[in-house]
Structure 1
Amino acid sequence: MRQISLAISLFFLVSSSALQAEDWPGWRGPRGDGTSIDTGFPIQWTATQNVVWKVAIPGRGHSSPIICGDRVFLTSCLEGEAPGNEPCDRVLISLDRKSGQIHWKTVVEKAPLERIHTLNSYSSSTPATDGERVYVTFLNRDKLLVVCYDFDGKELWRKSPGPFKSQHGFCSPPVLYKGSVIVNGDHDGNGYLVSFDKKTGEVKWKIDRPNHTRSYCPPLIVEAAGKTQLVMTGSKCVCSYNPDDGSLIWTIDGPTEQFVASMVYHKNLLFLTAGFPTYHVMAIRPDGTGNVTKTHVQWHETKGAGYVPSPLAVNGLFFNVKDEGLATCRNAETGKLLWEERLGKHFSASPVFAENRLYFLDDEGKMTVVQADKNLEVLSKNSLNENCFASPAFSKGQIFIRGEKHLWCIGTQIK
């Protein structure tokens, strides 16, 4: 009986660990909100300690790595390998998770370097995977490209949903939903939101977007107010759509012109941060229909609003970091400011929540680890001595950080 009891206990222990272990399959992880339910992540490291591997990455980019099983996928632009104004290769790279060794590198598109913001790159859109295929988005001159590959680097389909024009460049990560790939096409023209069939690339639906203003925000898909909602900021508004057919559920005017950070959802509230030309932090109740600008804003503040880094909402709290380095914690329901602290000089990466801790990565490659609590407690500060502009990926106790020249795997080796 004791042996049977021990076997049952071990079974449930292994099953529980298997259920908790997560890949990081796209922008901001498995839920698109920067949270991980995995355990075993390090709190302290240096450029030489707690490093599983460090691998030089060809080219440059601000896209995040994604993790699926024993694979790591990353996009890059080989801008330094083309003479003069010649077209440059935009590439998708597959690496081995255990060693960091590059399995293959395939050229997605060869295109001239477009005009970009000084803080943007030519490879800023994070890919996405469903465990069988990898989906990438790039800009080629004046058109948006969506391309699908298998895990051997074979191209399966390629689509261009429409034109794309932006003086600050491109960044629209693909988002997966059921059998669809959904892409935001907000730009300085006739913007659109489009859904493709994952396997064939055929367009399932495509809708026009209002206001014709560029944005860089991937949609967030959540179960809210008894229905599935695709919510996103961008093009001078906040909108919720039905991800099955693209029909509009509700909209809020503004609160500003342009958006970069993606939304998060927690305790029946949606949260946004936005910062051009005016700064805003806002909580929205998701149970409305039509124009809910005057009826469904739970709270609205301007202090502590960020532009590029996306926020976190956990434990009944809303956490945010401004581009200039000021981090804030608010009561999620009321918006009351609980603490604020300067964590670095400048931030482009979005923070991650894991094991009741917050991981904030600044542009100098310094990551500050903070307790996810209403009282500020800084647990550690760690530096890789390499600039970092991409948001990190967290999976199975390991942290994957893209630097200017290298991809780092921080933690302990997985057996």
Structure 2
Amino acid sequence: MRIFISLYFAIVTLSAGNWPGWRGPNGDGISNEKIVPKLWSNTKNIVWKMPVQGEGHSSPIVWGDRVFLTTSLTDKNERRLLCFDRLTGRLLWDEVVIQSSPESIHRLNSRASSTPSTDGKQVYVAFMRAEGAKVIAPNVGSERMITPGKIIVAAYDFKGQQKWKTDVGDFVSAHGFNSCPLLFEDFVIINGDHDGDAYLVALDPKTGKEKWRTIRENKTRSYVTPIIRQIKGRTQMLLSGSLSVASYDPRSGSRHWIIDGPTEQFVASMVYNGKYVFVTGGYPERHILAIDPDGSGNVTDTHIVWRTTRGAAYVPSPIVVGPYLLIVADSGIASCFDAMSGKRLWQERLPGGHSSSPVSANGLVYFISDSGITSIVRPGNAFEVVARNDLGERVSASVAVSQSQLFIRSHQYLYCIGNLNQVKP
């Protein structure tokens, strides 16, 4: 009985520390972990370090004793799903999801940028499969030829067996693909914003069959993974992109409200502090907005609470910690705002440029730069750096936090970082 009880609590504790998809359990970069490493290098506090074949900017996800990651072996025309043992880093299995010639991408994108998601039973992945003759790229400043294709979504069990694979629709973009599967109840939701007939689509996780589809009118590429929140009696799926900021019912795809603009293209996911939703983006103009989500219809002129353009990020998503909204621009300029009023409390430069989205644990915010330097910052009225750690490698993926460990994907390796004097076998 004592062994059973110990095993039960171990399983419950492990399950509670899962990082199941893009930006963690709630899609906002927040971890409930209280003991998280603050000091490391490429040799210090490294639990394990494993080489990752190919290239990709997708982030690792963690469930129980498994770590999942996607990669592209472009020279072999393969897009793969990898599974690692979280205790040792050993590669358990490696499956080819699709075979595809290289699609056109932006120099800062990859062909495996979509972070997988898991419900603890299956792992869901999304890639673009290049198809057809090259076309003139829509919505770009100069004429160029790019490869169109399809969004392919697939599900695998934890043993690496493919359960289903489906083509959810066309996709064309001069900058390539990145849409992370979003799991909600019995839905796998994909954002299909692109420079053609754009859409949101929901699939059945058991079969891959389509459950609903919603047209996105503006036909403009964006790369935002939505978040879902229960707000004043409505379940809202929130995302920016395609010349708008909007809220949808994730069960039906019907739209609650929309704000026009404020710009064309977005990458960063939104966040919510219990009162307002926050968006940062995009291209060709940069904006930060605080929005009251308690609206219906077009709320462009009525529900924007505050806005600014200074300090906005394009790629990195924002994060809310207590009363503070923190944003790091792609250039490495970090800002901390009073989330309710929009008052800027400080603005400081962090080392290097930033593509990774920040995470927070135990009240601290972890910003990791493109050059692999993590600045750990304490949110507050004054700028305070708790620690800086240099991994010595380029990083484009975001950090996963699980069971007092950090999982970081560099351009060459997957790292598990922990306080080694506290790590239990």
**Could you tell me how far 1:375 is from its partner in structure 2?**
2.0
**1:297 equivalent in alignment to 2:321:** no
Residue aligning to 1:372: 379
Paired residue type of 1:32: G
Please say which of residues 222-231 and 69-78 is displaced more in the overlay.
222-231
Partner of 1:401, secondary structure, is: strand
The answer on whether the counterparts of 1:89 and 1:109 sit within 8 Å (CA) in structure 2 is: yes
Paired residue type of 1:401: I
**Could you tell me how far 1:18 is from its partner in structure 2?**
2.9
Residue aligning to 2:370: 363
Residue aligning to 1:92: 81
**1:330 equivalent in alignment to 2:319:** no
Paired residue type of 1:332: A
Paired residue type of 1:98: L
Partner of 1:299, secondary structure, is: strand
The answer on whether the counterparts of 2:336 and 2:379 sit within 8 Å (CA) in structure 1 is: no
Match of 1:119 among 103, 108, 116: 108
Structure-1 separation of matches of 2:19 and 2:415: 15
The answer on whether the counterparts of 1:123 and 1:138 sit within 8 Å (CA) in structure 2 is: yes
Partner of 1:278, secondary structure, is: coil
Match of 1:247 among 254, 270, 287: 254
**1:53 equivalent in alignment to 2:48:** yes
**Could you tell me how far 1:15 is from its partner in structure 2?**
9.4
The answer on whether the counterparts of 2:14 and 2:403 sit within 8 Å (CA) in structure 1 is: no
Cα-Cα RMSD: 1.6
Paired residue type of 1:341: E
Structure-2 separation of matches of 1:278 and 1:328: 18
Distance 1:151 1:256, change over 3 A: same
Structure 2: runs of 5 or more not aligned: 131-148
Structure-1 separation of matches of 2:391 and 2:384: 22
**Could you tell me how far 1:224 is from its partner in structure 2?**
1.3
**Could you tell me how far 1:219 is from its partner in structure 2?**
1.0
Residue aligning to 2:128: 139
Residue aligning to 2:410: 403
Match of 1:221 among 228, 234, 238: 228
Q: How many residues align?
A: 399
Residue aligning to 1:340: 347
| Percent of paired sites with the same residue | 48
**1:390 equivalent in alignment to 2:397:** yes
Residue aligning to 1:261: 268
Residue aligning to 1:85: none
Structure-2 separation of matches of 1:189 and 1:33: 29
The answer on whether the counterparts of 1:39 and 1:396 sit within 8 Å (CA) in structure 2 is: no
The answer on whether the counterparts of 1:20 and 1:38 sit within 8 Å (CA) in structure 2 is: no
Structure-1 separation of matches of 2:192 and 2:296: 23
Paired residue type of 1:99: T
Residue aligning to 2:284: 277
Distance 1:414 1:135, change over 3 A: farther
**1:172 equivalent in alignment to 2:161:** no
**Per-residue displacement from partner, 1:199-223 (whole Å, max 9, x unpaired)?**
1111110010020000100111111
Structure-2 separation of matches of 1:206 and 1:267: 28
**1:186 equivalent in alignment to 2:181:** no
So what's the TM-score if we normalise by structure 2? 0.92
Paired residue type of 1:305: A
**Per-residue displacement from partner, 1:26-70 (whole Å, max 9, x unpaired)?**
000000000000121111111111110000001110000000000
The answer on whether the counterparts of 2:14 and 2:64 sit within 8 Å (CA) in structure 1 is: no
Structure-2 separation of matches of 1:363 and 1:15: 36
**Per-residue displacement from partner, 1:98-148 (whole Å, max 9, x unpaired)?**
000000000001101111000000100000000000000000011010001
Please say which of residues 259-268 and 68-77 is displaced more in the overlay.
259-268
Structure-1 separation of matches of 2:380 and 2:223: 30
The answer on whether the counterparts of 2:222 and 2:242 sit within 8 Å (CA) in structure 1 is: yes
Residue aligning to 1:3: none
**Could you tell me how far 1:17 is from its partner in structure 2?**
8.3
Structure-2 separation of matches of 1:250 and 1:414: 49
Structure-1 separation of matches of 2:13 and 2:100: 42
**Per-residue displacement from partner, 1:295-341 (whole Å, max 9, x unpaired)?**
00010100000000000012111000000000000000010000111
